[in-house]
Amino acid sequence: MSAESGVPTFRDAQTGLWQRYSPEQLATEQAFRANPSMVWTWYVWRALLINSVAPNAGHRVIGSWQEALTADGGSLTVATQNVDDLHERGGAEEVLHLHGSLHDYRCLECGAPAAFDPSSTTVSAEQHFDKDSVLEPARCTQCSGMLRPGVIWFGEMLPQTTFDAAVEALRAADLVVVVGTSGLMQPAASLPLIAQESGAKLVEINPVPTDLSDVADVYLSATAAVALPALLGELLS
């Protein structure tokens, strides 16, 4: 969804200095505790990168589609594995972030939610590639523990309430459109099949075929920013 806005996918996010590390080496609590400034700097760099890009036509169409359906007495639920806020900035409301959000922070020790503005750091996204510019994690105002990003790290459970809300929406859905996921990360990857078992039609949009392509009712080999506006245009006409 966000690749066309210039946000590297999680697997492709390792550029520059970060090429030396796999996501598994950075996106765990163990990695954060072992090297807080490096992992914190990686997340600040990613948050700054997301702040510097805009929602694409795909995000904006989902916002419009949700608005149109809601005005018509229906509903559209957005559930995403993306940790950016481009759906919200594209006009979608009540986005279910299955893998958490890069823009929410909380204390690693006491769990208190905390505010942090990555743009308040004194180094630019580019300077983060310079190992001399690594940042120290911001601190909790309650207990002075380190703040951590509100994303789901490897080995952590998905947020149960969010996951349950996604399952409920899928069970009740008439139509499910799966956009651009690799379909590799469980349990999110199994969600479309729940909808199909409940009788929903399944449309997959992905420039690259996945394990889902054969079981989807319709597979559109295209990117989100191309296929979604075309799909909504057809539906509204």
The catalytic residue positions are: 99
Question: Which two tokens mark 15?
Answer: 């550029």
Q: Which of 49-57, 145-153, 185-193, 204-212 is the region at the interface with Zn ion (rule: CB under 5 A)?
A: 145-153
> Does 147 participate in binding Zn ion (rule CB under 5 A)?
no
Nearer of residues 149 and 180 to Zn ion, judged by Cβ: 149
Q: How far is the CB of 108 from Zn ion (least distance, A)?
A: 8
- DSSP state letters, 29-93: HHHHHHSHHHHHHHHHHHHHHHHTS---HHHHHHHHHHHHHHHTT----EEES--SSHHHHTT--
By CB under 5 A, is residue 139 in contact with Zn ion? no
Q: Does residue 140 bind Zn ion (CB under 5 A)?
A: yes
| Distance between CA atoms of residues 66 and 117, nearest Å | 29
Q: Locate 139 and state its tokens.
A: 């601190």
Distance CA 192, CA 202 (A): 7
Which helix or strand (DSSP H or E) is residue 235 part of?
A: helix 224-236
* Least gap, CB of 113 to Zn ion (angstroms): 10
Task: Report if residue 227 touches Zn ion, rule: CB under 5 A.
Answer: no
Stretch that binds Zn ion, among 51-59, 84-92, 133-141, 183-191 (CB under 5 A): 133-141
Least separation, in Å, of the C-beta of 39 and Zn ion? 18
Which of 9, 37, 70, 142: binder of Zn ion (CB under 5 A)? 142
Q: φ and ψ at 96, to 5 degrees? A: -90, 110
Q: How many residues bind Zn ion (CB under 5 A)?
A: 8
- Options 107, 166, 177, 205; binder of Zn ion; rule CB under 5 A: 107
Measured between alpha carbons, how far is 152 from 173 in angstroms, rounded to an integer?
26
110 binds Zn ion per the rule CB under 5 A: yes
Binding site for Zn ion (CB under 5 A): 107, 109-110, 112, 140, 142-143, 145
